[in-house]
Amino acid sequence: MSAPRFVLHDHRRPSPHFDLRLEEDGVLRSWAVPKGLPDDGRHDRLAIAVDDHDLDHVDFEDEHKSVADTGTWEEHSRDDRRLVFTLHGRAGSRRFALIHTGGTQWLLHLTKEQPGVNES
């Protein structure tokens, strides 16, 4: 079985934002991330859970949406409130946590532990 895919869409309508989509259970679980993925662990980003998308959205582009990054992802841990995962994208691998804060609201956090940096 191949690794599950992810896509980060740069979406320009209705207002500029990014969509993070993780392949799971035959669909793309999706979050709107208004300011994009965090660059450092001190600045979490709001992520709003949105409807799942069909797998054909993994490479979908149109005049309002382009693929900012794509690749595979791997889950490290999960519970009712938190999902820790690594995105293996075009420019390398980065580990994040999605932290559920209630309703459709999540925080996207760049973890302190990064692949190849803090591992022995």
Residues 75, 42: Cα–Cα separation, whole Å: 22
Distances (CA, A) of 114 to 14, 53, 64, 95, 104: 33, 28, 32, 6, 27
pTM of this structure: 0.92
User: Mean pLDDT across the stretch 71-82?
Assistant: 97
Alpha helices in 37-115 (DSSP H): none
Residue 77 has pLDDT above 80, yes or no: yes
Tell me how many helices (H) and strands (E) the chain has: 0, 8
pLDDT at residue 1 in the model: 63
pLDDT at residue 42 in the model: 92
Q: What tokens appear for 80 in the block?
A: 């009712």
**Residue that is written with structure tokens 């662990």 in the block:** 41
pLDDT in tens, 8-64: 999 998 889 999 999 999 999 999 999 999 999 999 999 999 999 999 999 999 999
